[in-house]
Structure 1
Amino acid sequence: MPAFVTLQPRFPFGGLTFSSRVDALIRQDLLDPLPYVRRHICGDWGDVRAEHRRYNDAALELGGYLLSSYTICDGLDLCIFTEADRGLTAVFLLDEY
Structure 2
Amino acid sequence: MRLPPYHCELNPIELVWAQVKGDVARNNTSFKLSDVKILLENSLERVTADKWQRCIHHVHKEEEKMWELDNLIDVAVEPLVINLGDEDSSDSEDEF
**Normalised TM-score (structure 1):** 0.25
Of Structure 1 and Structure 2, the greater strand share is in: 1
TM-score norm. by structure 2 comes to 0.25
Greater Cα radius of gyration, structure 1 or 2: 2
